[in-house]
Structure 1
Amino acid sequence: MKTLVTGSDGFIGSHLVEELVCRGCHVKALAFYNSFGSSGWLEYLPSEVHNQVEIVFGDIRDADFVMNVMRGCQVVFHLAALVGIPYSYQAPASYVDTNVRGTLHVLQAAQTLGTDRVIHTSTSEVYGTAQFVPITESHPLRAQSPYAATKIGADQLALSFHDAFGAPVSIVRPFNTFGPRQSLRAVIPTIISQIASGNRKLKLGALHPTRDFTYVKDTVRGFTAIAEADTSVGKVVNVGSNYEISIAQLVQLIADVMGVHVEVETESTRLRPAESEVERLWADNSLARTYFGWTPHYVGRDGLRSGLKETADWFINEDNLKHYHPQRYGV
Structure 2
Amino acid sequence: MWKGKKVLVTGAGGFIGSHLTEALAQAGAITTAMLRYNSSSSIGNLAFLDAATRDALRIVSGNIEDSDFVNRVVEGQDVVFHLAALIAIPYSYEAPRSYVRTNVEGTLNVLEAARRYGTERVVHTSTSEVYGTALRTPIDETHPLQGQSPYSATKIAADKLAESYYRSFGTPVVTVRPFNTFGPRQSARAFIPTIISQALARDEVRLGSLTPERDMTLVSDTVAGFMAAGTTQGLEGMTLNLGTGKTYSVGWFAERILKLMDVKKRLVQDDARLRPALSEVMKLVSDNTRAREVMGWTPTVSLDEGLQQTIAFFRKHSLSSQVGSYVR
Q: Same fold (TM over 0.5)?
A: yes
Q: Quick one: which amino acid aligns to residue 289 of structure 1?
A: R
**1:244 and 2:243 aligned:** no
> Per-residue deviation at 1:322?
5.0
Question: CA RMSD of the aligned region, Å?
Answer: 0.9
Secondary structure in 1 aligned to 2:308? helix
* TM-score, normalised by the number of residues in structure 2: 0.97
How has the CA–CA distance of structure 1 residues 222 and 252 changed in structure 2, closer, same or farther, with 3 Å as cutoff?
Answer: same
Gaps in structure 2 of 5+ consecutive residues: none
* Map of 1:279 onto structure 2: 282
Matching residue within 67, 77, 81 for 1:77: 81
Distance 2:36 2:47 in 1: 13
Cα distance in structure 2, aligned partners of 1:261 and 1:135: 35
- Does structure 2 retain, via aligned residues, the 8 Å contact 1:7–1:81? yes
Equivalent residue in structure 2 for 1:26, among 8, 25, 30 = 30
1:200 deviates by 3.5
Normalised to the residue count of structure 1, the TM-score between the two structures is: 0.96
Equivalent residue runs for 1:152-231 within 5 Å: 152-197=156-201, 199-231=202-234
Asked if structure 1 preserves the Cα contact closer than 8 Å seen for 2:197 and 2:320, the reply is: no
CA displacement, residues 200-240 of structure 1 (integer Å, 9 cap, x when unaligned): 31110000010000000000000000111122210000000
Out of 99, 105, 110, the position equivalent to 1:101 is 105
User: 1:51: Cα distance to partner?
Assistant: 1.1
Alignment-mate amino acid for residue 325 of structure 1 = Q
Q: Secondary structure at the match of 1:180?
A: coil
Report the equivalent of 2:312.
313
In structure 2, what is the Cα distance between the partners aligned to 1:231 and 1:208?
Answer: 39
- Matched to 1:100, the amino acid is V
Give ranges in structure 1 of 5+ residues lacking alignment.
Answer: none
CA distance in 1, matches of 2:324, 2:208: 14
Residues 203/35 of structure 1: CA separation in 2 closer, same or farther (3 Å cut): same
**In structure 1, how many angstroms separate the alpha carbons of the residues matched to 2:97 and 2:320?**
29
Equivalent residues in 2 for 1:129-148, closer than 5 Å: 129-148=133-152
Aligned 8 A contact 1:61 1:97 in 2 = yes
* 2:46 counterpart residue number: 42
Q: Which deviations, in whole Å up to 9, do the C-alpha atoms of 1:268-318 show, x marking residues without a partner?
A: 1100000000000001111101111001002xxxx111100000000001x
Task: State the 1:136 CA deviation.
Answer: 0.3
- Identity within the alignment, %: 51
